[in-house]
Amino acid sequence: MRCLYCNELMNVQDNDYMGNREYSRLYVCLNDESRSIYEDWTDDKGRPIPRKNKWWNPKDNEKDSEAP
């Protein structure tokens, strides 16, 4: 998988059971500057749940926290 922000490879970190027969798998960008995270949701049969998938970019959060 490739990062949305920098196109670097991403590393799989977890595949956790989240209840209600759903699993969340985290991918972390290998680029230290981007550090983005992608959360990929599937059901108990491995089918994707696209409405729950999310991207996080810590750089965006840092900018928000520094704003007055």
Burial class (CB in 10 A: 0-12, 13-18, 19+), 23: middle
How many Cβ atoms sit within 10 Å of the Cβ of residue 35?
17
For the segment 34-65, what is each residue's pLDDT rounded down to a tens digit?
889 999 999 999 999 999 999 998 777 654 43
Averaged confidence pLDDT in the chain = 87
Q: How far apart are CA 28 and CA 13, in angstroms?
A: 7
Tokens 């699993």 -> residue = 23
Taking the model in full, what pTM does it have? 0.79
Q: How far apart are CA 15 and CA 26, in angstroms?
A: 7
pLDDT value, residue 50: 96
Q: How far apart are CA 29 and CA 68, in angstroms?
A: 29
